[in-house]
Amino acid sequence: MKRMANGPSNTLPGKPLKIAFLHRYGLGGWLCCGGHAMPLLAEKLSASAEIHFFGPGSTDFVPNELEQRVIQHLMPWQFDRANSRDKWTKTLRFYFALPGVGWRCRKLGINFLYWEETLPFGALLLQLFYGRNFAIMVMDFFVRIYTEKRYWLHWLRNTIEQIDCWSWKKLPFVFVHVAAAKTFLLDRGFASENVQIVPNPCNHLIFHPVDSETRRATRLQYGFADHDVVLTHHGILHPNKGNDWILKRFAAAQPDMPNLKLLLIGDGPERGRLENLAEQLGLAGRVMFTGWLPSEDVLNRTLASMDIGLVMRIGQETDHFHMTDTLNHEMACGKPILAVNLRGIAEFVKDAKNGYLFSVDEPDVFCQRLRELEADSDLRQRLGAAALETSRKVSAIEVCAQHMADAILAATSAK
């Protein structure tokens, strides 16, 4: 690991406190994947602490002011979120690096560490090599996700979860994004005061509605006419996103809604299968796959220029523990939301107020809600305005960063 040459010096006068952040995507990758509050959080903490970051380099952009505020200890590789192989090969490298990160933090005298992930046994490794004064964000239970239908592996899943929960309970606190995740942890013996809810932060200077001229120009780039009603979803094309379910419902609704289009933004292991399925269902010209878009600015213009924000997962138990970045960004763009009815999502999407909820067990409800939204532009505008208001209320980076800064400083006894 090495310190960035353009970072601050190792010792800042009057700032004996040292706080570190850790992420396997690198600093830029984290900012684009749930870390919108990081720059403001670092700013708030840097008033009384020296700020460090541990992780790989990233292909994503890091603002200069953040680079100047943070001492970066870079692992000897770069993480590319658009490369699906990186998710596996470089996550494995990250595992091997964790003991070294913990040891390095201890040697540097890091007072508190924040890691916004829940890789299996990761917290236990950090405790062994660093100590217990750190926090994590509990949102993904990776072993549960990948063994959901492999019943013969549930014993292994349960054992790993028990070990992880045991190690998490030893931390000063953990963060979660939704109350459903907190309930899950309380059922496993966590104290209520040690589980703090912070919704997914969203920088509303990055994700926001666009003017009519930008909207028209962006739609033309994708080949959409003014009369088309475009449904969008973005993220990794992974089996638990249920895009095959959406394509089948979309095909069934096609005769009734000839102007309805679907834009799937992102990439992943499911893309080839989904493209083949769309062709088999006769959806050529109705469904478009964009791959990863080059920047958050392009993503914002794309989302904000379309008509309906889709939020979909198949309903695994851990799907209930998310607000999801898809929902976060679509709401910030002022889109009416059509979302699967999962407990975490339903904390923010209120039926007929800022969107509609549907169940994967009731495909007819999905199609009916889609028809209502497709047919009524005034309804879309009203629900979209309410979704934007919800986003600004619950996901503002100022609110999220302040909550996290207060909790971290309290844990260092430096508040």
Q: Is the pLDDT of residue 12 over 70?
A: no
pLDDT score recorded for residue 409: 94
Residue 226: partners with Cβ closer than 8 Å, 6 or more residues away: 216, 219
Q: For position 4, what pLDDT does the model report? A: 43
pLDDT digits (tens, 9 = 90+) for 173-209: 999 999 999 999 999 999 999 999 999 999 999 999 9
Distance CA 48, CA 309 (A): 40
Structural tokens at position 269: 């292991």
Distance CA 277, CA 170 (A): 47
Of the listed ranges 112-116, 146-150, 181-185, 364-368, the least confidently predicted one is 146-150
Whether residue 414 is predicted with pLDDT greater than 80 in this model: the reply is no
Q: What is the mean pLDDT of residues 33-60?
A: 93
CB 314 within 8 A of CB 240: yes
Let me know the angle formed at the C-alpha of 71 by 66 and 72, rounded to the nearest 5 degrees.
90
Domain ranges of the chain: 2-201+396-411, 212-394
Residue 287 or 82, more confident: 287
2-201+396-411 belongs to which CATH class? alpha beta
Alpha-carbon gap, residue 116 to 137, rounded angstroms: 5
> Residue 305: helix, strand or coil by DSSP?
helix
pLDDT beyond 90 at 233: yes
Instruction: Please give the residue that has the higher pLDDT: either 15 or 370.
Output: 370
Measured CA to CA in angstroms, residue 408 lies from 20, 175, 179, 385, 414 at distances of: 11, 11, 20, 34, 9
Helix H or strand E encompassing 261: strand 260-265
What predicted TM-score, i.e. pTM, was given to this entire model? Answer: 0.89
pLDDT at 15: 61
pLDDT score, position 122? 94
User: Does 314 have pLDDT greater than 90?
Assistant: no
10 Å CB burial of residue 41 (0-12, 13-18, 19+) is buried
> What b/e string do you get for 115-151 counting C-beta neighbours within 10 Å, with b at 16 or more?
bbbbbbebbbbbbebbeebbbbbbbebbbbbebbeee
Measuring CA to CA, how many Å separate 339 from each of 29, 129, 355?
Answer: 26, 42, 8
| Contacts (Cβ under 8 Å, ≥6 apart) of 271 | 237, 289, 291
**Residue 150: what pLDDT?**
79
Average pLDDT over residues 146-158: 78
The CATH-assigned architecture of domain 212-394 is: 3-Layer(aba) Sandwich (3.40)
pLDDT for 14 equals 56
DSSP per residue, 268-289: -TTHHHHHHHHHHTT-TTTEEE
* Residues facing residue 263 across a β-bridge: 232, 288
Say whether pLDDT at 45 is over 90. yes
DSSP labels for 35-102?
-TTHHHHHHHHHTTEEEEEEEEEESS---HHHHHHEEEEEEEEEE-TT-HHHHHHHHHHHHHHHHHHH
Q: What is the pLDDT of residues 154-165, one digit of tens each?
A: 888 889 889 999
With tokens 């999962």, the residue in question is 342
Would you state the pLDDT for residue 238? Answer: 83
Gyration radius from the chain CA atoms: 22
Rounded to an integer, what distance in angstroms lies between the CA atom of residue 384 and that of residue 36? 22
| Predicted pLDDT of residue 290 | 96
Mean pLDDT score of the chain, rounded to an integer? Answer: 91
Query: What is the pairing mode between strands 112-115 and 17-22?
Result: parallel
pLDDT of residue 142: 74
Domain 2-201+396-411 identical in fold to domain 212-394? yes
